């Protein structure tokens, strides 16, 4: 009996002990429930923050059809900034940076909650995208918001994308429509003080340009002040003929400063102004054509200066023969020919892209491919001022040489040059000053150069073009002629006394007869074969061999010389300068 009581007591103690342990492991006290109406409680998945971002992003990408800026944009026949993105970039490739930057008005909706009730996006849209599969950085003005002025922009955002291009070694495409964050007097009123102007972005831009990071700009509306500066500083710029214009200050400011009244944007700085004076490189019929030109130019360029230009597959045989080249240069020296046909017949079919067609028209320059490899092209247009290089022509070629140098693109030049332009217009426009700038650029740049003398090479200008590299790579066609002066004026200068004496003593007819004798003698002595006999020209070739010869040279340049050049550039032995 006693034993049974002890057993019952032990069992009871064991149960109590077990209950104690269970209480510790799984407390029975009820959990405190959170009140459903507690507004201070924030969602664990941050859906409130993500919702705010989504709201702002939706506003930014949705046009306000009643906004006067948007209405003005469409009435002017221009694409809205987001439409431009879709038209330029590969479909679905745009990744925006700073997608919710702008001015936001917030409304408090709880102890720690708020929601946007009004939003004006930054008037500069930027980010990453692809052009024909290549990743680029992209920046575009939204003229519908404060016409692109500073009081609708964020300088930190603009600076960031410029610095990002340097850090990532990626090309930059700039679509300018407005002042690109330039000044507005309303900024003074908003800030309460007037700032001392600074343009911090240009330190970075100059670094991009000289590093060979492609900068491509398009004028898609009025490019004003800072906007104008941004696009003009690019390696390549193009203006839309139907909507583009560019100026330091708009018509209202001009009217007050210079009393030139009643000017339209086009009068002040349209295509007829700036696509013919060299401020803008190329002209396009529309915004879409601007985009296509930028895609094309980029296809010839590396991402930055320590890379080779992109080589593509070529189905145009490098040994293709074109017999028409034998007759393209007329035997009669006074007759002209189509210099562009020489280019298009020799380079890869469909690869010729001209830069600066409407300014410095005595000179022709651009990009092409030979055997799928990018080359720069320079020649002179004998149909414009007989091909003599004037001031604008020198500026155009100088710019092109620097362009090729920073992008490691070899130069092929088809030489037909009577010399620098002469006469009062040439002297008044400082032809020699700009001509010597061209000469120094030829000798300061280091990209490989191959010269084909198709017809004339005279004077200082001809000598500079041919002798810019040592040893030179140069061949001539049978149509070549050269010397210190063209015979047309050279005989009069070299035999001035003799001819004057004959005219004085024997009359004008005898003078003409003697001139013809001298002309015949000199032309016989100027037979290009005589120059080759004395190794004054390395080789005179059949014109149909030109493509194959150039393709062989270009292939060697890409396989041997350019890789070595890039190593020297990386080591700081050469430092190409665009600006």
Are both 368 and 241 inside the same structural domain? Answer: no
Cα–Cα dist 46/208, whole Å: 39
> How wide is the angle at C-alpha 54 spanned by C-alphas 49 and 60, nearest 5°?
130
- Is the Cβ–Cβ distance between 144 and 70 less than 8 Å? yes
The percentage of the chain sitting over the pLDDT mark of 90, rounded to a whole number, equals 71
Tell whether the model's pLDDT for residue 25 goes beyond 80. Answer: no
Which of 298, 331, 357 is the last residue before a domain boundary? 298
Quote the pLDDT of residue 201. Answer: 79
Tell whether the model's pLDDT for residue 401 goes beyond 60. Answer: yes
Coil vs helix vs strand at 441: helix
Quote the pLDDT of residue 489. Answer: 78
Q: How confident is the model at residue 114 (pLDDT cuts 50, 70, 90)?
A: confident
Are both 251 and 343 inside the same structural domain? Answer: no
Q: How confident is the model at residue 147 (pLDDT cuts 50, 70, 90)?
A: low
**pLDDT tens digits, 529-563:** 999 999 999 999 999 999 999 999 999 999 999 99
- The pLDDT of 202-208, averaged and rounded, is 92
Quote the pLDDT of residue 126. Answer: 94
DSSP code per residue over 452-494: EEEEEEEHHHHHHHHSSSSS--EEE-TT-EEESS-HHHHHHHH
Establish if 514 belongs to a structural domain. no
- Is the Cβ–Cβ distance between 414 and 452 less than 8 Å? yes
**pLDDT tens digits, 433-449:** 999 999 999 999 999 99
Quote the pLDDT of residue 333. Answer: 85
Among 49-63, 179-193, 248-262, 314-328, which is the least confidently predicted range? 179-193
Establish if 280 belongs to a structural domain. yes
Please give, one letter per residue, the 3-state secondary structure of 285-349.
Answer: CCHHHHHHHHHHHHCCCCCCCCCCCCCCCCCCCCCCCCHHHHCCCCCCCCCCCCHHHHHHHHCCC
Site of tokens 């710029």: 237
**pLDDT tens digits, 340-350:** 999 999 999 99
Tell whether the model's pLDDT for residue 202 goes beyond 90. Answer: no
Highest mean pLDDT among 49-53, 142-146, 347-351: 347-351
Establish if 346 belongs to a structural domain. yes
Tell whether the model's pLDDT for residue 9 goes beyond 80. Answer: no
Quote the pLDDT of residue 490. Answer: 83
Structure tokens at 60: 């930014």
> How wide is the angle at C-alpha 536 spanned by C-alphas 534 and 537, nearest 5°?
120
Structure tokens at 48: 């409130």
Nearest to 300 by CA among 240, 219, 214, 232: 214
CATH of the domain at 453: 3.90.226.10
Number of domains in the chain: 2
Which of 298, 333, 350 is the last residue before a domain boundary? 298
* Mean predicted lDDT score pLDDT of the chain: 90
Are both 257 and 355 inside the same structural domain? Answer: no
Tell whether the model's pLDDT for residue 463 goes beyond 50. Answer: yes
Are both 183 and 262 inside the same structural domain? Answer: yes
Tell whether the model's pLDDT for residue 311 goes beyond 90. Answer: yes
365: which strand partners?
378
Establish if 11 belongs to a structural domain. no
Are both 327 and 292 inside the same structural domain? Answer: no
Are both 160 and 288 inside the same structural domain? Answer: yes
Among 52-66, 288-302, 370-384, which is the least confidently predicted range? 52-66
Among 78-82, 218-222, 252-256, 317-321, which is the least confidently predicted range? 252-256
Tell whether the model's pLDDT for residue 298 goes beyond 90. Answer: yes
**pLDDT tens digits, 344-377:** 999 999 999 999 999 999 999 999 999 999 999 9
The percentage of the chain sitting over the pLDDT mark of 70, rounded to a whole number, equals 90
- Is the Cβ–Cβ distance between 194 and 150 less than 8 Å? no
Would you mind telling me the total number of residues written for the chain in this entry? 579
Structure tokens at 457: 């090479």
Establish if 207 belongs to a structural domain. yes
More confident residue, 350 or 36: 350
- The pLDDT of 164-169, averaged and rounded, is 96
Among 18-22, 386-390, 431-435, which is the least confidently predicted range? 18-22
Q: How confident is the model at residue 487 (pLDDT cuts 50, 70, 90)?
A: confident
More confident residue, 339 or 36: 339
Establish if 54 belongs to a structural domain. no
CA distances from 447 to 51, 312, 473 (A): 54, 20, 13
- The pLDDT of 522-533, averaged and rounded, is 91
Report CA torsion sign: 490, 491, 495, 500: negative
Are both 278 and 342 inside the same structural domain? Answer: no
Structure tokens at 163: 């610095």
Are both 274 and 328 inside the same structural domain? Answer: no
- The pLDDT of 492-501, averaged and rounded, is 90
pTM flag (> 0.85): yes
Are both 224 and 257 inside the same structural domain? Answer: yes
Quote the pLDDT of residue 182. Answer: 55
Give me the domain span that covers residue 368: 323-477+541-570
Q: Max alpha carbon distance in the chain (Å)?
A: 171
Quote the pLDDT of residue 314. Answer: 95
Are both 378 and 452 inside the same structural domain? Answer: yes
Establish if 406 belongs to a structural domain. yes
Cα–Cα dist 235/205, whole Å: 11
Are both 374 and 293 inside the same structural domain? Answer: no
- The pLDDT of 47-55, averaged and rounded, is 91
Report CA torsion sign: 328, 334, 335, 340: positive
Structure tokens at 21: 């342990």
Q: How much helix, strand and coil, in percent to the nearest 5, is found in the chain?
A: 45, 20, 35
Quote the pLDDT of residue 1. Answer: 44
Among 107-121, 293-307, 388-402, which is the least confidently predicted range? 107-121
Establish if 361 belongs to a structural domain. yes
Among 90-99, 196-205, 361-370, 506-515, which is the least confidently predicted range? 196-205
Are both 292 and 342 inside the same structural domain? Answer: no
């Amino acid at each position: 009996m006693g034993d049974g009581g002890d057993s019952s007591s032990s069992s009871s103690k064991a149960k109590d002990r077990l209950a104690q342990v269970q209480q510790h492991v799984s407390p029975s006290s009820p959990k405190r429930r959170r009140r459903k109406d507690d507004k201070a409680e924030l969602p664990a998945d941050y859906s409130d923050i993500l919702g705010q971002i989504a709201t702002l992003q939706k506003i930014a990408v949705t046009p306000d059809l009643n906004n006067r800026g948007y209405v003005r944009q469409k009435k002017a026949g221009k694409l809205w900034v987001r439409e431009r993105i879709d038209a330029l970039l590969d479909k679905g490739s745009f990744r925006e940076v700073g997608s919710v930057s702008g001015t936001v008005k917030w409304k408090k909706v709880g102890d720690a909650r708020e929601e946007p009730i009004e939003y004006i996006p930054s008037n500069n849209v930027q980010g990453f995208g692809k052009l024909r599969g290549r990743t680029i950085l992209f920046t575009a003005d939204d003229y519908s918001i404060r016409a692109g002025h500073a009081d609708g922009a964020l300088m930190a955002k603009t600076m960031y994308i410029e610095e990002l291009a340097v850090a990532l070694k990626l090309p930059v495409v700039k679509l300018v429509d407005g002042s690109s964050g330039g000044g507005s007097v309303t900024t003074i009123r908003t800030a309460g003080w007037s700032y001392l102007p600074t343009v911090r972005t240009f330190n970075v831009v100059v670094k991009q340009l000289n590093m060979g990071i492609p900068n491509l700009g398009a004028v898609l509306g009025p490019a004003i002040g800072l906007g104008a500066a941004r696009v003009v500083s690019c390696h390549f710029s193009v203006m839309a003929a139907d909507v583009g214009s560019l100026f330091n200050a708009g018509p209202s400011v001009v009217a007050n400063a210079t009393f030139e009244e009643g000017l339209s944007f086009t009068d002040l700085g349209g295509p007829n102004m700036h696509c013919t004076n060299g401020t803008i490189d190329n002209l396009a019929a529309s915004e879409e054509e601007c985009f296509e030109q930028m895609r094309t130019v980029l296809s010839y360029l590396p991402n930055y200066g320590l890379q080779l230009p992109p080589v593509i597959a070529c189905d145009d045989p490098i040994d293709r023969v074109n017999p028409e080249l034998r007759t393209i240069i007329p035997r009669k020296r006074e007759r002209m020919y189509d210099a562009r046909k020489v280019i298009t017949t020799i380079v890869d079919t469909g690869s010729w892209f001209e830069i600066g067609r409407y300014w410095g028209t005595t000179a022709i320059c651009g990009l092409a491919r030979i055997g799928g490899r990018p080359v720069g092209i320079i020649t002179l247009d004998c149909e414009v001022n007989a091909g003599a290089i004037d001031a604008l022509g020198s500026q155009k070629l100088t710019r092109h040489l620097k362009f090729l140098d920073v992008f490691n693109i070899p130069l092929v030049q088809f030489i037909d040059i009577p010399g620098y332009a002469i006469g009062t217009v040439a002297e008044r426009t400082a032809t020699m000053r700009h001509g010597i700038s061209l000469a120094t650029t030829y000798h300061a740049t280091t990209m490989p150069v191959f010269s084909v003398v198709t017809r004339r090479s005279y004077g200082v200008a001809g000598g500079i073009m041919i002798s810019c590299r040592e040893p030179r790579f140069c061949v001539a066609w049978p149509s070549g002629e050269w010397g210190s002066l063209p015979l047309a004026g050279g005989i009069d200068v070299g035999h001035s006394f003799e001819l004057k004496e004959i005219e004085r003593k024997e009359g004008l007819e005898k003078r003409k007869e003697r001139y013809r004798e001298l002309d015949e003698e000199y032309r016989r002595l100027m037979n290009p074969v005589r120059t080759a006999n004395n190794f004054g020209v390395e080789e005179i070739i059949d014109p149909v061999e030109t493509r194959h010869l150039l393709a062989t040279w270009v292939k060697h340049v890409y396989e041997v010389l350019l890789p070595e050049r890039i190593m020297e550039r990386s080591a700081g032995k050469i430092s190409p300068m665009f600006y």
